Amino acid sequence: MSIPDQVLRLDQLDTEIEQTESAVSGARRRRLRNPELDAAEARVARLRENERAAALQLRRLESELTDVEAKIKHGNTRMYSGQIVDPRELGSLERELANYASKRDELEQQVLEAMEQAEAFAEEVAASDAGARETRTRWEAERPSLERQESELAQRLTLLKAEREGALAGVSPQTASMYARLRANSGHAVSVVRNGVCQWCRVNIPQKDVQHARAGALVSCSNCERILYVGS
């Protein structure tokens, strides 16, 4: 294999290794975490919080209502006990009772509304929770296939790395270090020459360089420095 063939193969292998590595970590991420499920479960937690707050509010209103009802009962007992004879005192008690009555009506209305609100939240929680469970079940059912995918990719990666080791063993240390430097600096170490033009940077390559590269020598593009590969 000529030097340009060797470095082209290395370049292709390294690119494939990078892509496979990223595919492996993508598959691992999908196996370990499901953003859709996380969002669904976070939503259920938020809705449960609303549900708890609504239940608390309902209890608070009910206890206020019980309080007002007790005051009305007490006021009525006093009113009809015959113990209050002062008309001014009676008038003031009457006004007090009227205030309590309107407060009670208001609270009864609020309790009804709070009940409806709490029911609505409970329904919302139940629906979201069912949705989240479904998402979890689906994800868990997919897990074996996600695991398989990940392990297949990992196997592929092992093979590619072994192949890379072999390819690297075939090149001279000088070529290897040049290749590594170019690869690290610019992502790709090799550029294909077509019709005398470097396909990476579009610069014309002198004819003698094209010939050398075609003959299997290590020739760099004078502009982008990549190793030139002249296809047959």
Which residues are at the interface with Zn ion (CB under 5 A)?
198, 200-201, 221, 223-224
Shortest distance, position 192 Cβ to Zn ion, whole Å: 10
Q: Are 6 and 217 in contact (CB under 8 A)?
A: no
Nearer residue to Zn ion within complex by CB, 100 or 200: 200
Q: Which two tokens stand for residue 116?
A: 């409806």
Q: Which is nearer to Zn ion, 7 or 221 (CB)?
A: 221
Least separation in angstroms between residue 193's CB and Zn ion is 9
Residue 222 CB, shortest distance to Zn ion, in Å, is: 8
Instruction: Find residue 180's DSSP bridge partners.
Output: none
- Pairing assessment for the beta strands 197-198 and 190-194 based on DSSP bridges: antiparallel
Minimum distance of Zn ion from residue 207's CB (angstroms): 16
Q: Which is nearer to Zn ion, 55 or 224 (CB)?
A: 224
Using the minimum distance from each CB to Zn ion, give the nearer residue, 146 or 224: 224
Q: Assess contact for 220 and 175: CB atoms under 8 A.
A: no
In angstroms, rounded to a whole number, what is the distance separating the alpha carbons of residues 93 and 107?
A: 21
Nearest alpha-carbon partner for 189 in 228, 230, 231, 232: 228
